[in-house]
Amino acid sequence: MGRQPCCDKVGLKRGPWTIEEDDKLMTFILNNGIQCWRMVARLAGLQRCGKSCRLRWINYLRPDLKRGELSEMEENQIIQLHASLGNRWSKIASHFPGRTDNEIKNHWNTRIKKRLRQLGIDPVTHQPLQGSDQTEDNNTINNVNELQEITITSPRTEILNSTNVAFTKNMSYHFPDQCSTSMFPDIKSPFYTQSYCSPSLSFSVENAKNNNGDPQSTSSQESFVLQQWDGEDDKLDSYFSLDIFNQLDQQLFFPENRL
Protein backbone atom coordinates (compact mmCIF):
# COMPACT_ATOMS: atom_id res chain seq x y z
CA MET A 1 0.00 0.00 0.00
CA GLY A 2 1.35 3.35 -0.96
CA ARG A 3 0.65 6.32 1.19
CA GLN A 4 -2.38 8.45 0.69
CA PRO A 5 -2.24 11.25 -1.86
CA CYS A 6 -0.97 14.51 -0.43
CA CYS A 7 -4.39 16.08 -0.67
CA ASP A 8 -7.95 15.37 -1.53
CA LYS A 9 -7.90 15.70 -5.27
CA VAL A 10 -11.64 15.81 -5.71
CA GLY A 11 -12.54 19.07 -7.38
CA LEU A 12 -8.95 20.02 -8.00
CA LYS A 13 -7.81 20.95 -11.47
CA ARG A 14 -5.10 19.03 -13.29
CA GLY A 15 -3.28 19.34 -16.56
CA PRO A 16 -1.73 22.33 -18.28
CA TRP A 17 -1.74 25.64 -16.48
CA THR A 18 -3.59 28.63 -17.90
CA ILE A 19 -2.19 32.14 -18.06
CA GLU A 20 -4.69 33.20 -15.40
CA GLU A 21 -3.53 30.48 -13.03
CA ASP A 22 0.08 31.39 -13.64
CA ASP A 23 -0.74 35.01 -12.87
CA LYS A 24 -2.49 34.13 -9.63
CA LEU A 25 0.34 31.92 -8.45
CA MET A 26 3.09 34.30 -9.44
CA THR A 27 1.37 37.32 -7.87
CA PHE A 28 0.64 35.49 -4.67
CA ILE A 29 4.16 34.19 -4.19
CA LEU A 30 5.81 37.48 -5.06
CA ASN A 31 3.60 39.26 -2.54
CA ASN A 32 3.50 36.67 0.22
CA GLY A 33 6.34 34.25 -0.24
CA ILE A 34 6.05 30.52 0.30
CA GLN A 35 5.23 29.07 3.71
CA CYS A 36 3.25 26.00 2.89
CA TRP A 37 2.36 24.95 -0.63
CA ARG A 38 -1.06 23.75 0.30
CA MET A 39 -1.82 27.16 1.75
CA VAL A 40 -0.33 28.85 -1.30
CA ALA A 41 -2.74 26.95 -3.50
CA ARG A 42 -5.70 27.82 -1.34
CA LEU A 43 -4.90 31.44 -0.58
CA ALA A 44 -3.98 32.19 -4.16
CA GLY A 45 -7.43 31.03 -5.16
CA LEU A 46 -6.22 28.14 -7.23
CA GLN A 47 -8.10 24.88 -7.65
CA ARG A 48 -4.80 23.04 -7.63
CA CYS A 49 -3.03 20.87 -5.12
CA GLY A 50 0.03 22.24 -3.39
CA LYS A 51 2.37 19.94 -5.21
CA SER A 52 1.11 21.07 -8.55
CA CYS A 53 1.72 24.70 -7.54
CA ARG A 54 5.19 23.91 -6.29
CA LEU A 55 6.09 22.17 -9.53
CA ARG A 56 4.72 24.97 -11.66
CA TRP A 57 6.67 27.55 -9.69
CA ILE A 58 9.94 25.64 -9.65
CA ASN A 59 9.90 24.53 -13.26
CA TYR A 60 8.29 27.47 -14.98
CA LEU A 61 7.44 30.60 -13.01
CA ARG A 62 10.49 31.20 -10.84
CA PRO A 63 11.98 34.54 -11.89
CA ASP A 64 15.55 33.27 -11.77
CA LEU A 65 14.96 30.54 -14.33
CA LYS A 66 17.41 30.40 -17.16
CA ARG A 67 15.60 29.84 -20.43
CA GLY A 68 16.78 28.44 -23.68
CA GLU A 69 18.86 25.54 -24.91
CA LEU A 70 21.52 24.02 -22.75
CA SER A 71 24.91 24.95 -24.09
CA GLU A 72 27.48 22.44 -25.25
CA MET A 73 29.50 23.22 -22.15
CA GLU A 74 26.52 22.63 -19.88
CA GLU A 75 25.78 19.38 -21.66
CA ASN A 76 29.33 18.18 -21.19
CA GLN A 77 29.18 19.09 -17.55
CA ILE A 78 25.94 17.17 -17.14
CA ILE A 79 27.59 14.09 -18.60
CA GLN A 80 30.45 14.40 -16.23
CA LEU A 81 28.24 14.96 -13.21
CA HIS A 82 26.03 12.06 -14.20
CA ALA A 83 29.08 9.83 -14.34
CA SER A 84 29.78 10.56 -10.71
CA LEU A 85 26.28 11.18 -9.31
CA GLY A 86 24.04 8.94 -11.40
CA ASN A 87 20.37 9.89 -11.82
CA ARG A 88 20.40 12.36 -8.95
CA TRP A 89 18.93 15.11 -11.04
CA SER A 90 18.43 17.63 -8.32
CA LYS A 91 22.05 17.28 -7.27
CA ILE A 92 23.12 17.70 -10.87
CA ALA A 93 20.80 20.66 -11.35
CA SER A 94 22.29 22.36 -8.32
CA HIS A 95 25.44 22.91 -10.37
CA PHE A 96 23.45 24.90 -12.93
CA PRO A 97 21.85 28.01 -11.45
CA GLY A 98 18.57 28.71 -13.16
CA ARG A 99 18.20 25.21 -14.54
CA THR A 100 15.70 22.75 -13.09
CA ASP A 101 16.13 19.10 -12.33
CA ASN A 102 13.17 18.36 -14.60
CA GLU A 103 14.79 20.21 -17.47
CA ILE A 104 18.08 18.39 -17.05
CA LYS A 105 16.38 15.05 -16.66
CA ASN A 106 14.37 15.62 -19.83
CA HIS A 107 17.44 16.73 -21.70
CA TRP A 108 19.31 13.67 -20.56
CA ASN A 109 16.54 11.27 -21.53
CA THR A 110 15.80 12.79 -24.91
CA ARG A 111 19.19 13.89 -26.17
CA ILE A 112 22.27 13.06 -24.17
CA LYS A 113 21.47 9.37 -23.80
CA LYS A 114 21.07 9.04 -27.52
CA ARG A 115 24.21 11.00 -28.22
CA LEU A 116 26.26 8.81 -25.90
CA ARG A 117 24.90 5.63 -27.45
CA GLN A 118 25.77 6.91 -30.87
CA LEU A 119 29.29 7.44 -29.59
CA GLY A 120 29.34 3.88 -28.37
CA ILE A 121 29.07 4.78 -24.71
CA ASP A 122 26.71 3.23 -22.25
CA PRO A 123 24.80 6.16 -20.73
CA VAL A 124 24.35 4.24 -17.48
CA THR A 125 27.90 3.11 -16.85
CA HIS A 126 29.71 5.65 -19.05
CA GLN A 127 31.82 2.82 -20.34
CA PRO A 128 32.16 1.75 -23.96
CA LEU A 129 29.26 -0.35 -25.11
CA GLN A 130 30.18 -3.92 -25.84
CA GLY A 131 29.26 -5.48 -29.19
CA SER A 132 25.55 -6.18 -29.28
CA ASP A 133 24.83 -3.59 -26.61
CA GLN A 134 25.65 -1.02 -29.20
CA THR A 135 22.32 -1.13 -30.89
CA GLU A 136 19.22 0.95 -30.91
CA ASP A 137 20.37 4.47 -31.60
CA ASN A 138 23.52 3.60 -33.38
CA ASN A 139 22.55 3.83 -36.98
CA THR A 140 25.22 6.19 -38.19
CA ILE A 141 28.05 3.74 -37.89
CA ASN A 142 28.21 0.51 -39.80
CA ASN A 143 31.74 -0.67 -39.32
CA VAL A 144 32.70 -0.96 -35.73
CA ASN A 145 36.21 -2.14 -35.23
CA GLU A 146 37.24 -4.40 -32.48
CA LEU A 147 37.70 -2.62 -29.23
CA GLN A 148 41.21 -1.56 -28.69
CA GLU A 149 42.31 0.52 -25.80
CA ILE A 150 44.60 3.46 -26.01
CA THR A 151 46.08 4.47 -22.74
CA ILE A 152 47.28 7.94 -21.99
CA THR A 153 49.91 7.67 -19.36
CA SER A 154 51.46 11.08 -19.60
CA PRO A 155 51.59 13.05 -16.35
CA ARG A 156 48.59 15.22 -15.79
CA THR A 157 50.49 18.45 -15.75
CA GLU A 158 51.80 17.80 -19.20
CA ILE A 159 48.29 17.61 -20.48
CA LEU A 160 47.12 20.65 -18.60
CA ASN A 161 50.00 22.75 -19.81
CA SER A 162 49.93 21.46 -23.30
CA THR A 163 48.02 22.91 -26.15
CA ASN A 164 46.30 19.80 -27.31
CA VAL A 165 46.44 16.11 -27.59
CA ALA A 166 45.94 15.28 -31.20
CA PHE A 167 44.46 12.24 -32.78
CA THR A 168 44.96 11.82 -36.46
CA LYS A 169 42.41 10.17 -38.62
CA ASN A 170 44.35 6.96 -38.84
CA MET A 171 44.08 6.73 -35.10
CA SER A 172 47.68 7.25 -34.27
CA TYR A 173 48.02 9.73 -31.50
CA HIS A 174 50.58 12.21 -30.42
CA PHE A 175 51.38 14.28 -27.46
CA PRO A 176 52.23 17.89 -28.10
CA ASP A 177 55.94 17.39 -27.82
CA GLN A 178 55.71 14.83 -30.56
CA CYS A 179 53.10 16.56 -32.61
CA SER A 180 53.37 20.28 -32.67
CA THR A 181 50.34 22.46 -33.02
CA SER A 182 51.70 23.55 -36.36
CA MET A 183 49.79 20.55 -37.57
CA PHE A 184 46.75 22.68 -36.93
CA PRO A 185 47.82 26.16 -37.97
CA ASP A 186 44.35 27.32 -38.86
CA ILE A 187 42.44 26.57 -35.77
CA LYS A 188 40.31 29.54 -34.94
CA SER A 189 37.35 28.16 -33.14
CA PRO A 190 35.60 24.90 -32.84
CA PHE A 191 33.67 23.96 -35.91
CA TYR A 192 31.98 21.16 -34.19
CA THR A 193 32.30 19.75 -30.76
CA GLN A 194 31.55 16.35 -29.46
CA SER A 195 32.45 14.96 -26.14
CA TYR A 196 32.36 11.88 -24.14
CA CYS A 197 33.08 11.14 -20.61
CA SER A 198 34.67 8.42 -18.62
CA PRO A 199 34.15 8.25 -14.89
CA SER A 200 37.60 9.62 -14.35
CA LEU A 201 38.11 12.14 -17.08
CA SER A 202 36.22 14.04 -19.71
CA PHE A 203 37.29 15.43 -23.02
CA SER A 204 35.82 17.32 -25.82
CA VAL A 205 36.74 16.70 -29.36
CA GLU A 206 36.89 19.44 -31.86
CA ASN A 207 37.95 19.60 -35.39
CA ALA A 208 39.49 22.54 -37.04
CA LYS A 209 38.39 25.44 -39.11
CA ASN A 210 40.50 27.09 -41.71
CA ASN A 211 40.90 30.83 -41.98
CA ASN A 212 37.65 31.13 -43.88
CA GLY A 213 35.75 29.44 -41.15
CA ASP A 214 35.22 26.36 -43.28
CA PRO A 215 35.91 22.89 -42.04
CA GLN A 216 39.48 21.96 -42.73
CA SER A 217 39.17 19.05 -45.07
CA THR A 218 41.55 19.52 -47.95
CA SER A 219 44.65 18.47 -46.13
CA SER A 220 45.72 14.88 -46.20
CA GLN A 221 46.17 15.30 -42.50
CA GLU A 222 42.54 15.22 -41.63
CA SER A 223 42.95 15.65 -37.97
CA PHE A 224 40.97 16.68 -35.04
CA VAL A 225 41.97 17.85 -31.66
CA LEU A 226 41.30 16.19 -28.39
CA GLN A 227 41.28 18.79 -25.74
CA GLN A 228 40.89 18.35 -22.06
CA TRP A 229 38.08 20.57 -20.87
CA ASP A 230 37.71 19.64 -17.27
CA GLY A 231 40.15 18.24 -14.82
CA GLU A 232 38.75 17.69 -11.38
CA ASP A 233 40.01 14.18 -11.24
CA ASP A 234 43.67 13.79 -10.73
CA LYS A 235 43.76 10.40 -12.27
CA LEU A 236 45.08 10.74 -15.74
CA ASP A 237 45.08 7.26 -17.10
CA SER A 238 42.10 7.04 -19.32
CA TYR A 239 41.01 4.45 -21.75
CA PHE A 240 39.63 5.06 -25.15
CA SER A 241 38.35 2.55 -27.58
CA LEU A 242 39.08 2.79 -31.23
CA ASP A 243 35.52 2.28 -32.23
CA ILE A 244 34.60 5.44 -30.41
CA PHE A 245 37.12 7.37 -32.36
CA ASN A 246 36.06 5.79 -35.59
CA GLN A 247 32.59 6.95 -34.85
CA LEU A 248 33.76 10.41 -34.00
CA ASP A 249 35.75 10.39 -37.18
CA GLN A 250 32.74 9.63 -39.27
CA GLN A 251 30.73 12.29 -37.58
CA LEU A 252 33.45 14.86 -37.82
CA PHE A 253 34.49 14.31 -41.38
CA PHE A 254 31.18 13.36 -42.87
CA PRO A 255 28.90 16.09 -41.65
CA GLU A 256 25.78 14.24 -42.72
CA ASN A 257 26.56 11.87 -39.88
CA ARG A 258 26.62 14.61 -37.33
CA LEU A 259 24.49 13.95 -34.35
Q: How far is the CB of 244 from DNA (least distance, A)?
A: 21
Q: How far is the CB of 43 from DNA (least distance, A)?
A: 12
Q: How far is the CB of 63 from DNA (least distance, A)?
A: 16
Binding residues for DNA, rule: CB under 7 A, are 2-7, 9, 13-17, 35-38, 48, 50-52, 54-56, 59-60, 87-91, 101-103, 105-107, 109-111, 114
Determine contact, residues 218/129, Cβ cutoff 8 Å.
Answer: no
DSSP labels for 221-259?
A: --EEEEEEEE-------EEEEHHHHHHHHHHHHSGGG--
Q: How far is the CB of 82 from DNA (least distance, A)?
A: 10
Instruction: Compare residues 15 and 155 and give the one whose CB is closer to DNA.
Output: 15
Instruction: Compare residues 52 and 76 and give the one whose CB is closer to DNA.
Output: 52
Q: CA distances (Å), 11 to each of 7, 38, 47, 165, 195, in order?
A: 11, 15, 7, 62, 49
Q: How far is the CB of 21 from DNA (least distance, A)?
A: 9
Instruction: Compare residues 111 and 188 and give the one whose CB is closer to DNA.
Output: 111
Instruction: Compare residues 187 and 197 and give the one whose CB is closer to DNA.
Output: 197
Q: CA distances (Å), 54 to each of 50, 75, 203, 257, in order?
A: 6, 26, 37, 42
Angle at the Cα of 170 (from 167 to 207), degrees rounded to 5?
Answer: 40
Instruction: Compare residues 108 and 184 and give the one whose CB is closer to DNA.
Output: 108
